[in-house]
Structure 1
Amino acid sequence: MIGSFALMKQRRFLPLFTTQFLNAFNDNFYKMAVVMLATYAIYTTPQDVAWFNALVGGLFILPFFLFSALAGQLADSHDKAMMIRIIKTAEIFIMLVGAVGIWLHNVPLMLLALFAMGMHSTFFGPIKYAILPQHLEEDEVLSGTGWVEAGTYIAILGGTIAGGLIHPKIAIFGIFAVAIIGRITASYVPPAPPEKEAEGLVIDRNVFRSSWQIVNGTMHIPRLFLAILSISFFWAIAAILAAQFPPLVKDTLGADNTVATLFTAVFSVGVAIGSIIVNRLLKGHVSARYSPGSVIVMGLFVLDLWWAVGTWQHADASLMGWREFLSIRTGDRIIFDLLGIAIAGGMFVVPLYAFLTTTVAKSQTARTVAANNIVNSGFMVAATLLLSVLIGMGLTIDDTLLMVAVMCIVSALLAWRLHKACD
């Protein structure tokens, strides 16, 4: 075993870490650029903005639901390094389509590229976890997994800030450049042939049948069932919050895109902080004992956010920037609530992922992650669809926060059952 920081100097880890970092960065760079363009330049009514943001979330997640089973099978049965290079090559062409869509303000093209990026990440996701046990020693896998998780959240933050602050027509060149750099770093990932147990695995290309078989084969294991269900409720909550940030900021709080970017950045930083805190508390031991309390605290912060937003008053018709927003006392309170939600959320979800990556055979890791992605994406798509319907029926943007608070209670009950069953 080598030190945690020394892993970053190793070819068996650094190229993979850099490639997955750029992957997450570009996903969020492009998605946020599209959201900001639609929110502040294409659509004018609050209902259209809210609907578009919900659609963006649903379209990006839909491929995870449809193609995760196929992605897991391919990752377990083929050389993972070769697959990474194929996937990153495809990203370059996807970003070309997305760039044209942004340049022309063509919503169908932008959404097509967004769906394709979701598919690209669907196939990359299982690989980045399943490849670690092949390239790292057994006592280095948790450290490597921690770096991947931390890198993902930092990349989300960076991509969100870039997409929120850079003018969309300038962002075109950025997203294309990141895709090219990601393909270059992918070429340095060492070979990762399939485990012997997975050699000759017959690929079922029927996405519905294979999805059912992978989910059914994973969810019958009690600890995995409870962990995946708990994680799914968390990501459904995150999908609702992410979809509501831009319209909440613009139409309810009367703020501009810098505040919307600040919201998402605070949320990303908070999840990373929560991940660090719970890892320190657990000291490397896989346990869900802090998860039930964490999500209850998360729900309390959501309730306070709902109250703060409901009492918000902004008389000026112009959109305020982040400095003016933070100068308002309630603005500080809203940011504090968001940070609390994110920290508690990180403490809730990170230990649950450990159940998926440390309690199954190496030859099945990708398919286990794929099963989790299928169920997660199903919950997220359902949440965004429900959100769209409720908004269409007249539910206000800020009142959707009450729905999130109720979902936190359900998540706490599931996490409690997991804790009692496995700890």
Structure 2
Amino acid sequence: MSQFALLGKRRFAPFFWTQALGAFNDSAFRNAMVMLAAFQMGLPERQVSLYTNLAPALFILPYFLFSATAGQLAEKFEKTRIIRYVKLFEIAAMLLAAWGFHTHHLALLLVVLFMMGVHSTVFGPIKYAILPQALKPNELVGGNGMVEMGTQLAILIGMIVGNALMLLAGVGPLASAALTIGVAVLGYSASRAIPPAPATAPELKFNWNPLTETARVLGITHRDRAVFNAVLGISWFWFFGTVLVAQLPVYTKLNLGGDGSVNTLVLTLFSLGTGIGSLLCEKMSGKRVEIGLVPLGAFGLTAFGIDLFFARPLASVVQGLDWLAFLRAAGNWRIVFDLTLIGVFAGFYVVPLFAFIQSRAPREQLSRIIAGNNILNALLICCASGFGLGLGMLGFGVPQIFLITALLNAVVAVYIFTLVPEFVMRFITWVLVNTLYRVRADGVQHIPEEGAALLVCNHVSFMDPLLLMANLRRPARFVMYYKIFNIPLLRFVFRTAKAIPIAGYKEDPAVLQQAYDAIDDALAAGEVVCIFPEGGLTCDGEIAPFRPGVEKILARRPVPVVPMALRGLWGSVWSRRDSMLRRARLPRRFRARVELVVDAPLAPEQVTVAILEARVRELRGEFA
């Protein structure tokens, strides 16, 4: 099912439109207020500058004050009811805004802006915590991509419409007020159709002290190192994006020689690119939570950020170009290309991180972890504003700021990936598997979402663990022959994935015993373990007799057993059909069509070696 099909599902569509309309209204109101102050009231430039700089601070302040409280609300109470209260609050805020627009009362509009910050703060933890409740595991990446795409487009359209309506001669304030009130009412109407989303921690003791609760929320966010570093990655994305977007007006005017329409164009390119990248995540990840895309996204942000510097490092010799003239001018399509691809790789970067947090964090703590993420996002956004202003005061031009930020992105990415090697391991796995094979997975929903399980699969090539690793929805501990485990180029991947090396009894009985102990410890901890009961790679493409090790494992730790079969690997690269140096048949070896078939779990008391072997042979069929 395509991710766009979710828009036809009641469990997703009302929520999608509710959050998109809210993002639109935030953007439309903020930009209409700035246009009112800058162009409709005849204020001096210094006063306009004060309001335009104060506005972002007032909008972001509630994230520091109320995120921790919002996280508690989202876990203790039913989420849909909170969403409806939030949308009623938005309607009240927009009614106040209408009076502020009519009377040109900027102080009141700043109060409304703070209220909209509260609106976004309370909605934020619900926005991402409700998705795992509403979507199936294989829909999580696509759903996040749709939400990210919808948010980016809604913000962009809201900016354009908010600017345009306020500048309408004579009726700008009235048109802006009518729009924002109407959209708020539509958002509330959409929220009425969202299905119930039960509380995930109804017994939670509510803490009204924002300071102590903020400290507690940050502690919960920090508890799981992988989740916390994903949160840091998202916060860095906001830092990078804030620096980039904040420089675009000056960059448009001085370096591109464009007018306001060119500024709108470059923002559109970045937003559309992010939307495209977000949507592509589902296709590229095979509907799995694939954090291997995150290093790819980080690389793209740096590469095209650097190229943006070289594309136009000096001021433009012409000024006042409209967007059509800009596109016709020589060399500008390179800038279009860079800005769009920065957005695309931003989508690759941030969507898998959100999906990773949703899939990895405990369900009863997810809203508070998202709240902690929002607090850190707000902090990094403030740091980004200071960073950009500081570099400007030091005499750096906008292209130089782009270059410094792109290089800093590479440093931060290396730091995060060093702390959590799983990101790089998944990237290597994703690149190798998607380069060598075209994989179709069937039945992966049979693997239990929680608790211990033993996966049993035929063994065809040296790439089997990587291929399975790239296609299973849950991380698995692979039991593999110790000599394969120690292959120099792949040892990092296997160690990072916590694979378990094993040897035959005659080869090394100590390694064999250590493997059995490690398997039992993993199953006792509720992990998934995958074994290849043949004891080695097939030499003729047929499934070899299963060894009794699986029965020994189940005798110590009875857990569900999931039979699986790999099809189409015999004759592909790194199988033993023939030598790599003789009879090289590249069309068969590279981009081979491979299938993974997963059967329903068997109860441990039903399992024997003979039954498992027969079931795997049946799953494999004739398609070796």
Q: Return the TM-score normalized by structure 1.
A: 0.87
Distance change >3 Å, CA 150–CA 411, structure 1 → 2: same
Structure 1, unpaired ranges of 5+: none
Distance change >3 Å, CA 98–CA 309, structure 1 → 2: farther
Note the alpha carbon deviations across 1:337-388, whole angstroms, 9 max, x for none: 2112111211122211122111123222211211111111111112113334
- Greater Rg, structure 1 or structure 2? 2
Distance change >3 Å, CA 287–CA 138, structure 1 → 2: closer
Q: In the alignment, residue 87 of structure 1 is paired with which amino acid?
A: V
Q: Which residue of structure 1 aligns with residue 260 of structure 2?
A: 257
1:135 Cα deviation from its structure 2 partner: 3.7
Q: Which residue of structure 1 aligns with residue 13 of structure 2?
A: 14
Distance change >3 Å, CA 366–CA 54, structure 1 → 2: same
Q: Which residue of structure 2 aligns with residue 177 of structure 1?
A: 182
Q: Which residue of structure 1 aligns with residue 306 of structure 2?
A: 303
1:125 Cα deviation from its structure 2 partner: 1.4
1:36 Cα deviation from its structure 2 partner: 4.6
Tell me the distance in 1 between the aligned counterparts of 2:139 and 2:37.
44
Match status 1:33 vs 2:32: yes
Q: Which residue of structure 2 aligns with residue 381 of structure 1?
A: 382
Q: Identity rate of aligned residues, in percent? A: 37
Tell me the distance in 2 between the aligned counterparts of 1:246 and 1:79.
42
1:105 Cα deviation from its structure 2 partner: 5.0
1:104 Cα deviation from its structure 2 partner: 5.1
1:111 Cα deviation from its structure 2 partner: 3.3
Q: Across the two proteins, how many residue pairs are aligned to each other? A: 417
Q: Which residue of structure 2 aligns with residue 228 of structure 1?
A: 231
Tell me the distance in 1 between the aligned counterparts of 2:197 and 2:184.
22
Distance change >3 Å, CA 129–CA 315, structure 1 → 2: closer
Q: For the Cα contact (< 8 Å) 1:164–1:258, is it kept in 2?
A: no
Tell me the distance in 2 between the aligned counterparts of 1:413 and 1:59.
34
1:120 Cα deviation from its structure 2 partner: 0.6
- Name which of structure 1's ranges 231-240 and 388-397 shifts more when overlaid on structure 2: 388-397
Q: Secondary structure in 2 aligned to 1:166?
A: helix
Match status 1:129 vs 2:128: yes
Note the alpha carbon deviations across 1:309-343, whole angstroms, 9 max, x for none: 43232445xx3321122222243332222112111
Q: Which residue of structure 2 aligns with residue 75 of structure 1?
A: 74
Q: Secondary structure in 2 aligned to 1:129?
A: helix
1:121-160 superposed matches below 5 A: 121-160=120-159
Which protein, 1 or 2, shows the higher relative CO under an 8 Å CA cutoff with sep ≥ 6?
Answer: 1
1:26 Cα deviation from its structure 2 partner: 1.3
Q: Secondary structure in 2 aligned to 1:163?
A: helix
Distance change >3 Å, CA 30–CA 252, structure 1 → 2: farther
Q: Which residue of structure 1 aligns with residue 402 of structure 2?
A: 401
1:215-364 superposed matches below 5 A: 215-250=218-253, 253-316=256-319, 319-364=320-365
Q: Which residue of structure 2 aligns with residue 187 of structure 1?
A: 192
Distance change >3 Å, CA 220–CA 49, structure 1 → 2: farther
Note the alpha carbon deviations across 1:195-216, whole angstroms, 9 max, x for none: 3xx1131121221211111111
Q: Secondary structure in 1 aligned to 2:421?
A: helix
Q: Secondary structure in 2 aligned to 1:310?
A: coil
1:103 Cα deviation from its structure 2 partner: 4.8
Q: In the alignment, residue 346 of structure 1 is paired with which amino acid?
A: G
1:271 Cα deviation from its structure 2 partner: 0.8
Tell me the distance in 2 between the aligned counterparts of 1:244 and 1:12.
39
- Name which of structure 1's ranges 260-269 and 412-421 shifts more when overlaid on structure 2: 412-421
Structure 2, unpaired ranges of 5+: 427-624
Tell me the distance in 2 between the aligned counterparts of 1:103 and 1:322.
32
Q: Which residue of structure 2 aligns with residue 64 of structure 1?
A: 63
- Whose strand proportion is higher, 1 or 2? 2
Distance change >3 Å, CA 74–CA 264, structure 1 → 2: same
Distance change >3 Å, CA 8–CA 78, structure 1 → 2: same
Distance change >3 Å, CA 314–CA 32, structure 1 → 2: farther
Q: For the Cα contact (< 8 Å) 1:54–1:385, is it kept in 2?
A: no
Distance change >3 Å, CA 330–CA 375, structure 1 → 2: same
- Name which of structure 1's ranges 32-41 and 78-87 shifts more when overlaid on structure 2: 32-41
1:244 Cα deviation from its structure 2 partner: 2.4
- Name which of structure 1's ranges 130-139 and 118-127 shifts more when overlaid on structure 2: 130-139
Q: Secondary structure in 1 aligned to 2:15?
A: helix
1:192 Cα deviation from its structure 2 partner: 2.5
Q: In the alignment, residue 306 of structure 1 is paired with which amino acid?
A: F
Q: In the alignment, residue 384 of structure 1 is paired with which amino acid?
A: S
Q: Secondary structure in 2 aligned to 1:174?
A: helix
1:181 Cα deviation from its structure 2 partner: 1.0
Distance change >3 Å, CA 119–CA 247, structure 1 → 2: farther
1:390 Cα deviation from its structure 2 partner: 4.5
1:106 Cα deviation from its structure 2 partner: 4.8
Q: In the alignment, residue 122 of structure 2 is paired with which amino acid?
A: F
1:157 Cα deviation from its structure 2 partner: 3.0
